Amino acid sequence: MKKFFLPLLATAFTFLSCAAPQGGAGSGAVDTKSFQQTLATPNVLLIDVRTPAEYAEGHIDGALNLDWTGGVLDQRMATLDKGKPVLLYCASGRRSAAAREAMSAAGFSDVKDLSGGITSWRNAGLPVK
């Protein structure tokens, strides 16, 4: 019985620990509508994690450019207010998802990233600067 029970218990524990949510209750990828609604709330920190060249080609108004790939976000993370809601976006959603995970691990409680990135924002007909 022990030969069967212990591996089963280990498998269950591994599965449940992997399924645990990351970050705070408000963390996760959101669609364009939810992103836009959260953006309208006070004290939101909007971060574009694309490169400066991508940012210059067009960005959401009010976004702070903290390049994920270049390590700028990592360098500046300690200076950001962990209590503020954070909205992240990139071109397609991959870099912002990685940045969200890093910020959640660093103690930011409410971090959301735009599913589909600025591409989905533009496809929805929303403005860029």
Query: Which residue is listed with tokens 């969200």?
Result: 100
Q: Of the candidates 45, 79, 35, 85, which has an alpha carbon nearest to the alpha carbon of residue 65?
A: 45
Active site residue 18: no
Whole-number Å distance between alpha carbons of 78 and 106? 9
Catalytic residue among 45, 90, 99, 114: 90
**C-alpha to C-alpha distances, 74 to 70, 89, 107, nearest whole angstrom:** 9, 15, 13
Contact predicate 88/29, CB 8 Å: no
Contact predicate 32/121, CB 8 Å: yes
Q: Which residues are identified as catalytic?
A: 90
